[in-house]
Copies of this chain bind each other. A is one copy, B any other.
């Protein structure tokens, strides 16, 4: 029975404040590439790992932030990834299948198919897309914009963290719906991407705007119908007075708040009443039954290049911690992926 090296990214200890590379260790363990007798699990070779903002919440024990559970110090991180099935004890999967879903930050993983695990049927698109546009972030953008946001043709849409894994898709979905869409991001490079590659009508660098309320008034003189919320805090507070009557705020994330011991206070909530706004939190997990419908919608657009996707690829599991940590300072440009192996 072959014992092989199994490099892992392990959490050292619970994190407070911004996570650092040194909060994680690269550990070189070994593993036996064989399913335990009678196991219903699948043995995976991990190819691509996904860096997602929600992972910060699993690194903490702070009450209220640990609602999705926590990582175990000394154990590898868990997350979304694209993997190849090496051996399967479950009838739905067989050796050689490509899958995306829950896995661990290591080279080889034993996972239970009771977790999220989708077989990859379409391989004429980059495999890494299944950590992004064709995976959890894609479904998040689709469900959040169409199901929670209830967009109508011609509406005004604002997206924060607009060049990120989810935001860049929300903007493109909004354009496919004939909406006017403006995105905010944290660098000139990202703003250029939004305007020149991702088809946003307008985009701005929030770090260069001293009065975000005035900025939004400038881009939305008639107000915002849908604010796709990825960041929370000050941005949300500036958006609220700029919302239109019957506006909607799908709340996908509040990444600006995850590293703060004391979150920023939002003071303009009375606008929810004045403008009759629906603000609704959602989690992609509730919407995976729509995945086949989503693929049917998005695959043709990808093939016809009507929807594009920007990825930021880090090579090698050992560069995973830096890639993950970079999310919280906005170092990534587009969807942050870590390549463990290419096949």
Contacts and interface: CB of A to CB of B under 8 A. Distances in A.
A266, A267, A273, A282 pick with most chain B CB within 10 angstroms? A273
Nearest to A246: B286
A280 B277 contact: yes
A336 to B, nearest CB: 20
A4 interface: no
B265 A272 contact: no
A278 B236 CA distance: 16
Nearest to A251: B272
Contacts of A282: 273, 276
A140 to B, nearest CB: 11
Interface residues of A, number: 36
A271 interface: yes
A73 interface: no
A279 interface: yes
A270 interface: yes
A241 B63 CA distance: 9
Interface in A242-259: 251-254, 257-258
B286 A281 contact: no
A278 B280 contact: yes
Nearest to A276: B281
B264 A267 contact: yes
A269 B236 contact: yes
A342 B37 CA distance: 87
Contact of A269 (B241, B266, B275, B277): B266
Instruction: State the 4 A-B residue pairs at the shortest beta-carbon distance, nearest first.
Output: A265-B265, A272-B281, A273-B281, A263-B267
16 contacts: A67-B274, A254-B269, A265-B265, A265-B266, A266-B269, A272-B279, A272-B280, A272-B281, A273-B283, A276-B280, A276-B283, A278-B278, A278-B279, A278-B281, A279-B279, A279-B280
